[in-house]
Amino acid sequence: MSEQLTVPTMAEFMAEGKKPDILFWVGSAGSYDDRAKKITKAFVKILNKANVDFAVLGTEESNTGDVAKRAGNEFLFQMQAVMNIEVLNAYEVKRIVTCDPHSFNCLKNEYPSLGGVFEVIHHTQFIEELISSGRLKVEGDKYKGKRITFHDPCYLGRANSVYEAPRNVLKKTNATLVEMKRHKGSALCCGAGGAQMFKDAEPGNKEINVLRTEDAIETNPEIIATGCPYCNTMMTDGVKFKEKESDIKVLDIAELIADSQDL
Amino acid sequence: MEYLPNIIFAIILTIGIGYFANNVKKLFRNIKLGRDVDVSDDKPQRWKNMSMIALGQSKMVKRPIAGFLHVIVYVGFVIINIEVLEIIIDGLFGTHRIFSSIGSLYGVLISAFEILAVLVLVAVIVFWLRRNVIKLKRFLSAEMKGWPKSDGNIILYFEVVLMCLFLVMNATDLQFQAMDSGNVISQFISPWFSGFSESSIHLIERSAWWIHIIGILTFLNYLYFSKHLHILLAFPNTYYGKLTPKGQFENLEAVTKEVKMMMDPNVDPFAAPPEGAEAAIPAKFGASDVQDLSWVNLLNAYTCTECGRCTSECPANQTGKKLSPRKIMMDTRDRLEEVGKNIDANKGEFKDDGKQLLGDYITNEELWACTTCNACVEACPVSIDPLNIIMQMRQYLVMEQSAAPMELNTMMTNIENNGAPWPYNQQDRLNWKNE
């Protein structure tokens, strides 16, 4: 990486007596998972390029508790939520963007009744907003005509009915968007949700991510686009399992946009 | 003796409706065994959902073939009920085709009923073929063996018989045929009986009429024992369906209270609990039996008509795991029925039978296979939420029994210790910036 990323923290803003326009919730995967960190950085490049006034919580951020809640541990979830809400409210955060649909869903829908009321958007929605307001220009032909299929993350799509933002952003690259036979409301899960990411699957005859990857392969894509770090891992593993990694790349929409602009 | 048929009719009607009312009472009682939940919010949206999803069948047509056929049977069922009203009035007062006095509109109505009856027959035959000859995968799952399979077919046979009786009844009604208005279909059936004497034809007409109405009353009473209950419960069920985004899982209030207390530095941990605090703490977190579930969950269970759209969309089920959202609903209903019978047998009190929904009906393996992807919820044509039941049972497993799979316990310990599901140091959370 040539140029340095600018990633201010809320604490730094506070020290200067300022508040950013938006908080970037990096999430546990985005902070620690090697693959997801690339997505985080790609998104920061976009934020930097569009001169977005943002900050992260850095070491003050903790797991949303989402995965604990889906595993059935309501105690742990609420402990995490109350802790995070205290920090967020202390910084008077109003608007949050995140690359993780699970954090997105949890912050947006499950924090309010515990005292954390924020406007929460997914990074694909934010990128769409940056493009339509003219703050981010997507030009060039790097992805023109490339066959891209978008895998709807359950917690963005079915869970929150966000189907168009990621597709609208993808269209800006002039790529050829091809839909899998099950998409949007009927999209098949990648297999990671509900805490499955952290455990082995129950006995069966196939892995869910392989089944979903087969859906994607049917569209004969060059790229499988994702909007979730967990989906990304599952689809990447699926492509490897099908021995297609030399033909098909699995990329987050943030990575696609950053790369299309050579950021 | 002149009024004998009227009296017999009134008796049959009273028994039929009375027995049904009794079962409805039982149904209410069983549903009310569930935990209370507040669903009094946003009534306009609830009415809208009911009219779109139940009345308007908006989710049925997502699968065009089954959806289209279902709409025919549904419209047929609703409209032909006008005819049932006439039968009841005729039966009680000894009249014959009382509505025919409304003139030409009567012919139009009966024409519509006759055409619908034929369409229903066709649809029902296709449904039967789908279940028994084409053998669609979703009708062959493990939970569809035995009674559920027979139940599905019995309903179809009932409908075939009722529709045939209706057409025969019209075809052999010489007075009605003579009117030559409204007999669009039955005029072609009528000649089949031309070899019979007038009195035999009349006997056939009367028999068809009586068997038709007795059949309808029998069918009405069959509902309570059948998946077919959905024809009534789809309406309240879609009304009480979830209004919040599908991804939003409710926060347990009891847990919130405890967490707030733990986080509050001013709380004296050794203080005696205030008067009445004991009652505020629930007996258990999550659900292990039907009484722990909400009454909406239980209404869901009675509403389920076992169509299997949920299961056919479930990623776990499609990859050979034991989880089937339909089975979750069927198990919940079976256990609820068992609890209901237990209460009946023990003079209104439930006597512990050493069984529960968790373990005796639904296994941990099924519960842990769920990805919480909401595909089942999205697929259900009548707003049933199997995921909500799965989550409550997971909560019981984790918070009451510490029975999560080992890897999940590791993940949760990591979150507790360092705020991430992996064993990384919280202080390293921003390291990605410089890597």
* Residue A2 is assigned to a structural domain of this protein: no
| Chain B residues with CB-CB distance to A112 below 8 A | none
* Residue A4 is assigned to a structural domain of this protein: no
| CB of A216 closer than 8 Å to CB of A23 | no
Determine the average pLDDT of the residues in A229-239.
98
Residue type, A41: K
* Residue B428 is assigned to a structural domain of this protein: no
Q: What is the pLDDT of residues B82-112, one digit of tens each?
A: 889 999 999 999 999 999 888 889 999 999 9
* Residue A77 is assigned to a structural domain of this protein: yes
Determine the average pLDDT of the residues in A8-15.
97
Work out whether the CA dihedral B299, B305, B311, B314 comes out positive or negative: negative
| Same domain assignment for residues B257 and B302 | yes
Is A58 within 8 Å of B430 when comparing Cβ atoms? Answer: yes
Closest CA to A22 of A114, A171, A165, A135: A135
| Chain B residues with CB-CB distance to A37 below 8 A | 432, 435
| Same domain assignment for residues B149 and B287 | no
Closest CA to A113 of B178, B248, B434: B248
**What pTM did the predictor assign?**
0.94
Report the CATH number that the domain containing residue A52 is assigned in CATH: 3.40.50.1860
Structural domain count of chain B: 2
Q: What is the pLDDT of residues A44-62, one digit of tens each?
A: 999 999 999 999 999 999 9
Domain ends where: B189, B217, B239?
B239
| Same domain assignment for residues B207 and B283 | no
Q: What is the pLDDT of residues B31-79, one digit of tens each?
A: 999 999 999 999 999 999 999 999 999 999 999 999 999 999 999 988 8
Considering only CB atoms, B315 lies closest to which of A72, A197, A208, namely: A208
Q: Above 70 in pLDDT, residue A3?
A: no
Q: Above 60 in pLDDT, residue B280?
A: no
**Complete edge-to-edge strand list for the sheet that includes strand A54-55:** A54-55, A22-25, A95-98, A119-122
| CB of A78 closer than 8 Å to CB of A64 | no
Per-residue pLDDT band for B277 (boundaries 50, 70, 90) equals low
Considering only CB atoms, B421 lies closest to which of A26, A63, A191, namely: A63
Q: Above 70 in pLDDT, residue A133?
A: yes
Instruction: Name the residue range of residue A244's domain.
Output: 137-260
Q: Which two structure tokens, joined as six digits, stand for B407?
A: 């890897």
| Same domain assignment for residues B229 and B87 | yes
Of A191-205, B23-37, B176-190, the poorest mean pLDDT is in: B176-190
Helix (H, G, I), strand (E, B) or coil at B362: strand
| Same domain assignment for residues A178 and A199 | yes
Q: Above 90 in pLDDT, residue B201?
A: yes
Q: What pLDDT does B85 receive?
A: 92
Determine the average pLDDT of the residues in A7-23.
97
| Same domain assignment for residues A84 and A124 | yes
| Same domain assignment for residues A148 and A102 | no
Report the CATH number that the domain containing residue B286 is assigned in CATH: 1.10.1060
Closest CA to B391 of B304, B294, B307, B310: B294
Considering only CB atoms, A194 lies closest to which of B256, B372, B422, namely: B372
* Residue A5 is assigned to a structural domain of this protein: no
Considering only CB atoms, A59 lies closest to which of B313, B321, B430, namely: B430
What average pLDDT is seen over chain B? Answer: 93
Report the CATH number that the domain containing residue A149 is assigned in CATH: 3.40.50
Three-state secondary structure of chain A: CCCCCCCCEHHHHHHCCCCCCEEEECHHHHHHCHHHHHHHHHHHHHHHHCCCCEEECHHHCCCCCHHHHHHCCHHHHHHHHHHHHHHHHHCCCCEEEECCHHHHHHHHHHCHHHCCCCEEEEHHHHHHHHHHCCCCCCCCCCCCCCEEEECCCCCCCCCCCCCHHHHHHHHCCCCEECCCCCCHHHCCCCCCCCCHHHCCCCCCCCCHHHHHHHHHHCCCCCEEEECCHHHHHHHHHHHHHCCCCCCCEEEEHHHHHHHHCCC
| CB of B338 closer than 8 Å to CB of B409 | no
Determine the average pLDDT of the residues in B320-331.
98
Determine the average pLDDT of the residues in A235-263.
96
| Same domain assignment for residues B115 and B164 | yes
Q: Which two structure tokens, joined as six digits, stand for B217?
A: 């009353």
* Residue B17 is assigned to a structural domain of this protein: yes
Per-residue pLDDT band for B269 (boundaries 50, 70, 90) equals low
Q: What pLDDT does B272 receive?
A: 64
Closest CA to B59 of B284, B230, B288: B230
Q: Which two structure tokens, joined as six digits, stand for B210?
A: 């009586």
- Measured distance CA(A23)–CA(A26) in Å, rounded: 9
* Residue A220 is assigned to a structural domain of this protein: yes
| Same domain assignment for residues B86 and B210 | yes
Per-residue pLDDT band for A215 (boundaries 50, 70, 90) equals very high
Is B251 within 8 Å of A74 when comparing Cβ atoms? Answer: yes
| Same domain assignment for residues A33 and A86 | yes
* Residue B425 is assigned to a structural domain of this protein: no
* Residue B57 is assigned to a structural domain of this protein: no
| Chain A residues with CB-CB distance to B318 below 8 A | 188, 206, 208, 211
| Same domain assignment for residues B192 and B316 | no
| Same domain assignment for residues A87 and A158 | no
| Same domain assignment for residues B296 and B227 | no
Per-residue pLDDT band for B263 (boundaries 50, 70, 90) equals confident
Better-predicted residue by pLDDT, B102 or A101: A101
Structural domain count of chain A: 2
Tell me which of B408, B417, B425 to substitute to probe the interface with A (most A C-beta atoms closer than 10 Å): B408
Q: Above 50 in pLDDT, residue A246?
A: yes
Question: Chain B: nearest CA to A69, how far in angstroms?
Answer: 8
Is A79 within 8 Å of B427 when comparing Cβ atoms? Answer: no
* Residue B424 is assigned to a structural domain of this protein: no
Determine the average pLDDT of the residues in B131-149.
93
Q: Above 80 in pLDDT, residue B125?
A: yes
| Same domain assignment for residues A164 and A228 | yes
- Measured distance CA(B376)–CA(B54) in Å, rounded: 17
| Same domain assignment for residues A90 and A25 | yes
Q: What pLDDT does A2 receive?
A: 47
CA atoms within 13 A on the CB side of A114: 34
Written as one string, the DSSP assignment of B73-98 is HHHHHHHHHHHHHHHHHHHHHT-SSG
Instruction: Name the residue range of residue B190's domain.
Output: 4-31+63-239
Beta-bridge partner residues of A149: A224
Q: What is the pLDDT of residues B361-378, one digit of tens each?
A: 999 999 999 999 999 999
| Same domain assignment for residues A164 and A240 | yes
* Residue B435 is assigned to a structural domain of this protein: no
Domain ends where: A98, A129, A160?
A129
Determine the average pLDDT of the residues in B185-200.
92
Q: Which two structure tokens, joined as six digits, stand for B226?
A: 């059948």
| Same domain assignment for residues B311 and B177 | no
Q: Above 60 in pLDDT, residue B278?
A: no
